[in-house]
Amino acid sequence: MQQTNIRQIATELVQLLGPTDWAIGGSFLLQSYGIEPQARDLDLVCTLERFEAFKTLLSQYAHAVPVSLHPIYRSKGFARFSKNGLVIELMAGIQVLKDDGLQGFEFQPENTSWQQGLPLMQLSDWLELYQLFERPKRVAQLQQYLDDAHHTIKTDT
């Protein structure tokens, strides 16, 4: 999947879903900051209130892909789509089953950062999600980037 295709689809999604109540995370977010060389898919996080409406819109835009129950992911809303070979995942009410019960992530649409016409999640939110999803390599990768960025900002002031 070429970069322009992913960006093109992301741009089309802004037209489809509108400018509020959702944002892009995952590998596309990391690529936007130069952390990851290539985005593999589009991870969309939205408010629980808008999940069903967005799911309906996406099902008219892309091919719905069946999702099987995951052993620990227990999000209140999750749907997977495919568009020109690109996987698009829509998530809302994100929850993960841990030893001490369900742990959740609350998406805050007001934290969305618009860059090049696309709504991106905060890197710190995605760090929290990678910790929740128990993805240690991603956590270390993102923590390193945030630490480096923090030091750069500190020394410049």
Phi-psi category of residue 100: left, alpha or beta, with phi > 0 → left and psi -120 to 50 → alpha: alpha
- Asked whether residue 126 is assigned to any structural domain, the reply reads no
- Asked whether residue 148 is assigned to any structural domain, the reply reads no
Tens of pLDDT along 36-47?
999 999 999 999
Span between the terminal Cα atoms of the chain, in Å? 40
Domain hosting 26: range is 3-121
pLDDT at 1 over 70: no
- Asked whether residue 128 is assigned to any structural domain, the reply reads no
CA separation for the pair 154, 145 (Å, rounded)? 14
Strand order in the sheet with 42-46: 63-65, 77-83, 86-92, 42-46, 22-25, 118-120, 113-115
148 pLDDT band, cuts 50/70/90, is: confident
Percent of the chain with pLDDT over 90: 80
- Asked whether residue 136 is assigned to any structural domain, the reply reads no
- Asked whether residue 108 is assigned to any structural domain, the reply reads yes
pLDDT at 71 over 90: no
The pTM assigned to this predicted structure is: 0.90
The CATH number linked to 40 is 3.30.460.40
Q: What is the tally of structural domains in the chain?
A: 1
- Asked whether residue 143 is assigned to any structural domain, the reply reads no
- Asked whether residue 115 is assigned to any structural domain, the reply reads yes
pLDDT at 157 over 60: no
φ/ψ of residue 113, rounded to 5: -110, 120
